[in-house]
Structure 1
């Protein structure tokens, strides 16, 4: 599960560079030219400590990285390109506090990152250990002593494996097995913070995600930047668990594993979600997801039809209209939509607003500024919010299928074909123009192809 651990330092003449690497497949310090910039984000020098999350491409067969997000042939039988996930903890200290000062230290401060690269986005599981080790590494005052970094890699490599050892925490014991839980990947995320920041408009971001548009997040706090995006995409059940294609617009391996279920066990949540076409294949083809991207990756963005990305570089903000369809400023919690027809489609319906108002109140009424993410009760908790959005999405999927059914059999259809408990066509409660937009997306086409035409017999087609 752990691909490698490295140290990235800022060199006064050469900029960020990988200084040390440890991993099972030898030294990989030179194969990702953007890794140093992803690990030392723009503006991170203004913070004592910060975290960045990002994605990387790696060819398992060639043991190299593609030259760019489109620098490979996905049909090549001699390559096997996959997505890896990086998490960096960067800190800085005064040069005068170093016990061992080397000749390359010429500035008043020293800035470095300790980076863990994994095969799954287990950021929350890794974060605590990464933070503790990075702080201890700095407290040593001798950056040439890397034993603690080696120990971090060895500890992660051993503990993040399936094992019969009962002393290993269950969460770590699950991570490489087929029983990997969604909840393991949600550690460190906060849906409460997402709702508190954007209130009712959090639903605008959720609905925008399904439309496969260019969504650019900007903020000066790198950790908030990354966790906000992770929290958003986690609202689609099982999506975080299935991000294997998200580092390149060319990757679509997940599609080859899709099939239409012929049966469902409604008492089994995983069976129900699969029957309903979840997770939606948001990043299966044409798109990119990377919570942090550096300025050096601009060309990769131009090669992608859509993306969800984050940046701390103000140059991105200066070009927001060219680089994004939707711009999200986390410093002001403001959402900008630059296309008028898209803005119209993303205008929330009355039913949307009423439902989101209830969720907003559940968070605001239980908010504690001193401990904002703590769940004291179920009402207003992350589990509550996640459950509400899951119900919303299931109702949407059923309503879209019901709308297609009604259209197929005439409007109105013959008596006896409609659902007695449903009054009219519920699709309008989600927004007709938004649904029309969504039907143009790749993830909708896959959903429509690989789900039963009458799945509304299993889940009631209605707004929450």
Structure 2
């Protein structure tokens, strides 16, 4: 029996829909069930009712290569149906089951296994906290061995609505179960390269498998930026440049004469610009509009206030609600996209003119062949070590870690090694995020200053590039009183030491080989020295025995003589 639709106002419910996406042997991935229905039809047809903006939702819920694994978890974003520049957040729990195990099998099931995903679409980002709940519900749904029994999905929809509030995001909930372990274990000190890379608003592609590992890496990286996950991704799904409505053209009227034709003058050719020039012009124009609007609004306030009150009263140039530090940064706005996973169906979106930057996760090899639309490709080799391929030489210079950066990254990793108990604050994921918070505030303070020494500690090429980016321009246009409490210097500034030399050597491939060779040589010398010492001791004992025999012979014949 189909349950009654939820009575709670749709605009108040944090969960938009719970869906089931399956794989059909002829039609491919398709929506098989949705609650509440996508359309108020008498006889809902979920696959046909799916809105145009969500056409590729099935390809996100059942990712490329899903048939190679028994289960997986996929995080993704979709554009809101109410506002194309606002995001909704999706999580999909995929399972594969043998067709023979089903007690009720659909007539379309012709293969040996059945692949389905249970999907939750939410108004608010609840990636980690939803994962454990959705995995449990999905397993329960599959344990029924009859996919027509959807009562458990209706119950989940109601329970999630009671747990979360669409108008208020609990920061703890937003970051719950988003682990930094995959990111830090895979990239070690180079996680800081990825952190600084995101600030430069480039086209970054993560290519890894399985998808839950890919999502953990991308979301883990995003969670290092203060308030980004809970407040800073609402414009990260897509970007639509609003245009004024145009008059309808009558196709039967033929080609109307152009103004130039009427005047009898030749058309003036418009010089073409590169994609980068067009996108930079767009960002500059948007920044000017945002900052000019803030200045105009600020001019209306002419009262005397303390530093804190004055900063709090200033208009916020960011499109987000920000804190006293100016966080979250405007990293994924105005055509800069963030997608923990994208299917190949979205290739046109990321190469469109409206997309100026992105951080995406992919599993389809076709993405990597399009090197003209990417600046950095992040992969994992057969040893499980993270690889960062930077295609632009200038970007390599900008992302080179300084000695102070390496100290910071080494401090993070050593604290993680020292304090592995989950109950401890030091070394925990939240502790790492707090350290990155301090590092980021110090970096922004330095970038706002003319302190050449402090700038060099963060890499002057990086700071120069950062100052031109949209997120820094928006941040620097505001007053952030809490930032004044953080020194305008690198947190790990100081004199060079021998340890710094080994850190820098270990950061590069040739240096790691040299350290490995030295270690092997030292180990060889230690083993050789030990064998030499044992041999020398044995020789000395035998020599001493012969010496004692010569001095005190025990020959009985000589004694009789």
Once the two structures are superposed, residues 71-94 of structure 1 have per-residue CA deviations (whole angstroms, 9 ceiling, x without a partner) of: xxxxxxxx6652101100010111
1:132-147 equivalence runs, <5 A: 132-147=136-151
C-alpha distance in 1, partners of 2:133/2:158? 12
Classify 1:430/1:12 alpha carbon distance in 2 versus 1 (closer, same or farther; 3 Å).
same
Deviation, 1:118, is 0.2
Tell me what 1:351 maps to: 404
Matched residue, 1:148: 152
Are the structure 2 counterparts of residues 14 and 25 from structure 1 closer, same or farther at C-alpha, using a change threshold of 3 Å? Answer: closer
| Residue ranges of structure 2 left out of the alignment (5+ in a row) | 1-13, 41-45, 242-285, 299-304, 317-321, 492-561
Instruction: Map 1:230-245 to 2 at 5 A.
Output: 230-242=219-231, 243-245=233-235
8 Å CA contact retained: 2:19, 2:34: yes
Decide which of 433, 438, 446 is 1:391's aligned counterpart.
438
User: Could you report, residue by residue, the CA deviation over 1:169-209 in whole angstroms, capped at 9, with x for unpaired residues?
Assistant: xxxxxxx354x332221111112332222111000000000
Q: Distance in 2 between matches of 1:224 and 1:351?
A: 30
Indicate whether 1:19 and 2:32 are aligned: yes
Q: Secondary structure at the match of 2:149?
A: coil
Deviation at 1:456, TM superposition (A): 6.4
For the Cα contact (< 8 Å) 1:217–1:330, is it kept in 2? no
Shift of 1:55: 0.6
Match of 2:50 among 30, 37, 54: 30
Mapped partners of 1:262, 1:202: distance in 2 = 39
Shift of 1:459: 2.4
Match of 1:58 in 2: 80
Describe the SS at the equivalent of 2:139: helix
Partners of 1:36 and 1:22 in 2: CA distance: 15
For the pair shown, which has the larger CA radius of gyration, 1 or 2?
2
Does structure 2 conserve the Cα–Cα contact (< 8 Å) formed by 1:283 and 1:289? yes
The Cα shift of 1:323 comes to: 3.6
TM-score, with structure 1 as normaliser: 0.80
Does structure 2 conserve the Cα–Cα contact (< 8 Å) formed by 1:54 and 1:85? yes
Shift of residue 102, structure 1, vs aligned partner: 1.4
Cα deviation, residue 129, structure 1: 1.8
Which residue of structure 1 lines up, in the alignment, with residue 170 of structure 2? 181
Deviations 1:215-265 (CA, angstroms, capped at 9, x unpaired): 111111111111211111111111112211001134899x69989898438
Q: Which has the higher helix share?
A: 2
Equivalent in 17, 22, 27 of residue 9 of structure 1: 22
Residues 409-434 of structure 1 show CA distances to partners (whole Å, capped at 9, x for unaligned) of xxxxxxxxxxxxxxx64111101000
1:414 is matched with: none
Q: Does 1:206 align with 2:206?
A: no
> For residues 189 and 23 of structure 1, what CA distance do their matches in structure 2 show?
28
Q: Does residue 358 of structure 2 align to residue 307 of structure 1? A: yes
Aligned counterparts, 1:423-442, within 5 A: 425-442=453-470
Q: 2:328 aligns with which of 268, 279, 286?
A: 279
- TM superposition shift of 1:366: 4.4
Post-superposition shift, 1:444? Answer: 1.3
Write the mapping of 1:363-374 to structure 2, written as runs, cut at 5 A: 363-366=416-419
Is the contact made by 1:249 and 1:305 (CA closer than 8 Å) also made in structure 2? no
Check if 1:298 corresponds to 2:340.
Answer: no
Structure 1 residue corresponding to 2:102, chosen from 82, 85, 98? 98
Contact 1:214–1:325 under 8 Å retained in 2: yes
CA distance in 1, matches of 2:463, 2:240: 26
Residue 455 of structure 1 deviates from its aligned partner by 7.7
TM-score, normalised relative to structure 2: 0.67
Aligned residue in 2 for 1:40? 62
Q: Name the SS for the 1:274 alignment partner.
A: coil
Report what 1:215 is aligned to: 204
Q: Give the one of 261, 264, 272 matched to 2:308.
A: 264
How far apart, CA to CA, are the structure 2 residues paired with 1:17 and 1:25?
Answer: 14
In 1, the alpha carbon distance for the partners of 2:436 and 2:126 equals: 22
Partner of 2:124: 120
Structure 1 150/262 Cα, relative in aligned 2: closer, same or farther at 3 Å? farther
In 2: Cα distance, 1:383 partner to 1:293 partner: 28
Contact 2:85 2:238 in 1 (8 A): no
Q: Does structure 2 conserve the Cα–Cα contact (< 8 Å) formed by 1:84 and 1:120?
A: yes
After superposition, the Cα gap between the structure-2 partners of 1:184 and 1:456, relative to the gap in structure 1 and judged at 3 Å, is closer
**Rounded Cα–Cα distance in structure 2 between residues aligned with 1:141 and 1:276:** 52
C-alpha distance after superposition, 1:265-292 (max 9, x if no partner): 8xx9xx9x73332211001212111100
Structure 2 distance, partners of 1:81, 1:395, is: 31
C-alpha displacement at 1:363, in angstroms? 2.0
Q: Secondary structure at the match of 2:448?
A: helix
Superposition map of 1:402-441 within 5 A: 402-403=449-450, 425-441=453-469
1:224 matched to 2:232: no
Give the Cα–Cα distance (whole angstroms) in 2 for the partners of residues 106 and 209 of structure 1.
45
Change (3 A) 1:438 1:226: same
For 2:400 and 2:85, locate their aligned partners in 1 and report how far apart those are by CA, in whole Å.
38
Residue of structure 2 equivalent to 1:463: 490
Distance 1:443 1:226 in 2: 24
Calculate the aligned-residue CA RMSD, in Å. Answer: 2.9
Question: In the alignment, does 2:390 pair up with 1:337?
Answer: yes
